[in-house]
Amino acid sequence: MKTLLPILKTAMLLTLLSIITTAYAGPGHKDAGMGGGGHMDHMNDVLKTLKNELGDKYNHPVPAATEEQLVLGKTIFMKSCVACHGESGKGNGPASAAFKQKPADFTDPDHSKFYSDQGRMHIIRKGVKNTPMSGWGSVLDEKEILSVHAYIRSLRSNKNEENQKHGHSDHKH
């Protein structure tokens, strides 16, 4: 973990540089990183890419999280993901103010379940092209990626899911 800290700092710096580049793309880049058609079009483009890259593996199940994974995942999330995704995972971290495409809100049941578990882990590993979401596969090993995913999955709000079931959602796309 000692050698991981300098690598994580470097990755955060690269992520912040990506943020600045995306946020200040300049004239003619109004929809930079968004697939040209807005939020849902962007998500659908990412979904197509994930399904193409993962093929049959896209829907492979991911085992339920262990307590050890949740603890490790939260530790990594708090060190590496909070700047963009926020402490509670709502996509409202301090760096998110500079984004045109806001980071994922992991507490939103629609967004948190939009991609398969394998798809989310692929995003953690590889990032999302033309967005500030950089890949962590060269920084985190598979155990750490699975742990971060387990923690992110645990952030889904049961209250939000209950509201969705009863038609009381304030979710907007």
Per-residue pLDDT tens over the stretch 43-99 = 999 999 999 999 999 999 999 999 999 999 999 999 999 999 999 999 999 999 998
Domain boundaries, the chain: 4-19+37-165
CB 89 within 8 A of CB 106: yes
| 3-state percent helix, strand, coil for the chain, nearest multiple of 5 | 55, 0, 40
Per-residue pLDDT tens over the stretch 145-167 = 999 999 999 998 654 444 444 44
- The count of other CB atoms within 10 Å of the CB of residue 79 is 14
Q: What is the pTM of this model?
A: 0.71
| CATH ID of 4-19+37-165, from 3.40.50.970, 3.40.50.1860, 1.10.600.10, 1.10.760.10 | 1.10.760.10
For residue 68, give every residue at least 6 positions away whose Cβ sits within 8 Å of its Cβ, in sequence order, or none: 147
Q: Among residues of the chain, what percentage have pLDDT more than 90?
A: 58
CB 136 within 8 A of CB 11: yes
For residue 164, give every residue at least 6 positions away whose Cβ sits within 8 Å of its Cβ, in sequence order, or none: 109, 110, 171
